[in-house]
Amino acid sequence: MSSHKKRRSVDSVGQTSVPNKKPRTSNGFQPTKQQVHKRQQGNPESSNDSAEEIQDLSSSGDISSQGSEAGDNEANSAEQPDFMDSSPKTFSSLGVIPELCDACEKIGYKLATPIQAAAIPTIISGRDLIGLAETGSGKTAAYALPMLQALIEKQQGLFGLVLAPTRELAYQISQMIEALGALIHVRSAVIVGGMDMMTQAIALSKRPHIIVATPGRILDHLQNTKGFSLRSLKFLVLDEADRLLDMDFGPSIDKILKNIPNGEARRTMLFSATMTAKVNQLQRASLRNPVKISLSIDDTPSSKSTSSIPTTLKQTYLFFPHAQKDQYLTYLLSLPLANKTVIVFVRIIADVDRLTHLLTALGHKPAKLHGRLSQPDRLASLNKFKARQRTILLATDVAARGLDIPAVDAVVNYDMPDTDATYVHRVGRTARAGKAGTAISLVTQYEVEALQRVEKTLGVRMEEYEGGVQKEAIDGLEGSVRQAQAVATRKLRDDKDKKGGGGRGGRGQRGARRRHGDDQDLEEE
């Protein structure tokens, strides 16, 4: 960027800080070359509303407007974006303004990912969008950059709302938005359960530019926080929409939609890993004539396969008697997976706590993540794992979607998940961005059918784990594991006593959290 370029800012609501006094447009900003070019192309709303279908975006992806017909291709060829070819794209070539391109460079984004190359020009042009892509594909920047660019052009508080299914994902989205918007001084607020309502109400009263929230808590504020309204909202993003609906946030989202401007007055983006029947119903209710972008994913509602599995992921299993499950887990973490970053997925919260005590007694230092931890404790666990201060993360399915953990060597399914979709979401934590990864499912005599169901749904036949399993070493762990199990039982009893025995007070506290409609407090105990 040349040295004479002037920066723009949204550091105060309704105000623009520009270092010089050059003539401005009516909204207070000097138009960039990209903005002039975009406006010269005409108003996107005046274009033909018949849907365009654009093939060969990627080797197995497509772009199409909802309800399109193949025969519309020719008639709409003038509307086809210039990202049809698969060559790498710079953010500048996609129409992103220099200030935001600089921000991308500062955080190490040099070239756009496929979902970014497809989505950014479409959103900048003014269209609603459905983006179907795998977790870890760069979806956050795909909607954050156009939203920030639109904010610069029409600066105001409470400009955008991003709905996310989990607290951790909400914090990560906010961090990304603030990093991309650092040079324009964007202000965001995270509104999630497990945090003080009054503190959040004060943050909302300051009219941040962008709110990132879980549906239950933002609805709570819409209904109960005096003076708070989203009637001026310009940008709505539904991130991880399939997960939002899997967690039964549909009714909350419906109520939120009734409290924000209608489709003509707002832009709406829906991003999802899969196009389920529920997601399809939601997009019909919330989006207006959207363009659909699908990348390397089977998005049909009737599809049994919920997502694609990376080709670099090795899926394996270990079969043994149920009584030896803790021994096999200890063996894996002590020998084959020693010094590797591992996420161990467990079905219920109680087993996460038990295994934390058990592994600690055996000399490991695991971090843990589940819905009954306080928000500061959750973030502390994640940060330790990301920084490799802890190489083992014990987690319920809170962590199965959306978390930004760049390098995970292996995923261990301590319990087989309840659904095939959950299996896909779990193992998707490893083998990301073309890196190799291993998934190991611990299968007892009670879980054989669950393993076979996953194999049938995904059309794969898993191999038995051959990572140097030594039966003698596993048998030799029996004594120490039994001692650690006894320690874990005592620790759990002590924890229960400290919390008042889990009596009426404990149940009442959990009930209070659930009444706030939060997400991760609904996990199995």
Tens of pLDDT, residue by residue over 505-519, are: 444 444 434 433 344
In a domain, 17, yes or no: no
List the domain range (segments joined by +) for residue 94.
33-42+51-294
Contact 443, 464 (CB under 8 A): no
Radius of gyration of the chain (CA): 25
Answer yes or no: do 82 and 200 share one domain.
yes
pLDDT at 331 over 80: yes
Provide the CA 466 distance to its chain's centre, in angstroms.
32
**Cβ atoms within 10 A of the Cβ of 184, count?**
23
In a domain, 470, yes or no: yes
Answer yes or no: do 258 and 332 share one domain.
no
Q: What is the mean pLDDT of the chain?
A: 80
Q: How far apart are CA 27 and CA 40, in angstroms?
A: 18
pLDDT at 202 over 90: yes
Residue after which a domain boundary falls, among 238, 265, 294: 294
Q: Say what the pLDDT of residue 399 is.
A: 61
Q: How far apart are CA 208 and CA 193, in angstroms?
A: 18
Answer yes or no: do 452 and 347 share one domain.
yes
Give the number of domains in the chain.
Answer: 2
To the question of pTM greater than 0.95 for the whole model, the response is no
Answer yes or no: do 284 and 330 share one domain.
no
Q: Which residue matches tokens 């970053």?
A: 341
pLDDT at 43 over 80: no
3-state secondary structure of 319: strand
Strands 410-413 and 437-443: parallel
Answer yes or no: do 189 and 322 share one domain.
no
In a domain, 10, yes or no: no
Q: How far apart are CA 158 and CA 71, in angstroms?
A: 41
Q: Express each pLDDT in 4-17 by its tens digit.
A: 444 556 654 434 33
Q: Say what the pLDDT of residue 320 is.
A: 94
State which amino acid sits at residue 114.
P
Answer yes or no: do 440 and 382 share one domain.
yes
Answer yes or no: do 497 and 422 share one domain.
yes
Residue after which a domain boundary falls, among 242, 261, 294: 294
Q: Which residue matches tokens 């924890």?
A: 495
Alpha helices for 41-187 (secondary structure H): 72-75, 98-106, 114-124, 139-153, 167-180
Answer yes or no: do 323 and 231 share one domain.
no
Answer yes or no: do 228 and 102 share one domain.
yes
**Cβ atoms within 10 A of the Cβ of 402, count?**
23
pLDDT at 49 over 50: no
**Cβ atoms within 10 A of the Cβ of 201, count?**
16
Q: How far apart are CA 102 and CA 182, in angstroms?
A: 10
Longest dimension (CA), the chain: 80
Q: Which residue matches tokens 């393993």?
A: 451
CATH number (domain holding residue 366)? 3.40.50.300
Q: Say what the pLDDT of residue 319 is.
A: 95
Answer yes or no: do 320 and 290 share one domain.
no
Q: How far apart are CA 221 and CA 191, in angstroms?
A: 9
Q: Say what the pLDDT of residue 73 is.
A: 36
